[in-house]
Structure 1
Amino acid sequence: MPAAATKPKPNRSTARRPVPMDLPYAPTAKRPLPPGRPRDWYITHNRRLKAMRLAIALLDSGVYVPNQAHNETIRSTAERVGIRPPSDTTCHMVRALMRYSR
């Protein structure tokens, strides 16, 4: 019998691990945004990135339904992960992203 056949397979579980919410948010490496776009494009782009970070943090903390994600919940999650409090528009965008995450 070949040696490879007797080796145990590594555990490649797809189960989610709990994410500690008490640690500050650690941003990924930033790249410069493309020059020459209108100012509104940059504002919308940064708003989408913030909404995505917040939606992921909410999903990791156990808030899976947009109806559970009230503005206060989203803002407290932002404070917990070290992001500035989002506007009402960004909170609306977070709920929209959560609707499509199902």
Structure 2
Amino acid sequence: MKRYCLTLDLKNDPHLIAEYEEWHRKVWPEVLESINTSGIEHMEIYRAGTRLFMIMEVSPTFSFEEKAKADADNAKVQQWEELMWKYQERLPGSQPGEKWVLMDRIFEL
């Protein structure tokens, strides 16, 4: 199993952050299905202030490119992603339209 870590910022607004967390207590079934069928076997999101940190453990067949293509063809996932942009901010230095940024591991014990 392979692990990926990604990060993203939220808008610095306590009300919006609370809403974002509420949405993640009731993620739409179509979004959960898209995660499960893509080869993501385990996913967790943590928050410190406005910074989010996601850990994904994926199957050997998982591909970011294939997940992006499948999501682009899924109207419900696109609706979810559009809704989440209300709460999210691009990280400094990220590409236009890029949300979650893949992190580089710099240490392992």
| TM-score interval for Structure 1 and Structure 2 normalised by the shorter chain | under 0.3
Looking at secondary structure, tell me which structure has more strand per residue.
2
Looking at secondary structure, tell me which structure has more helix per residue.
1
Bigger Rg, which one: 1
Higher relative contact order (CA 8 A, sep 6+): 2
State TM-score, norm by structure 2.
Answer: 0.25
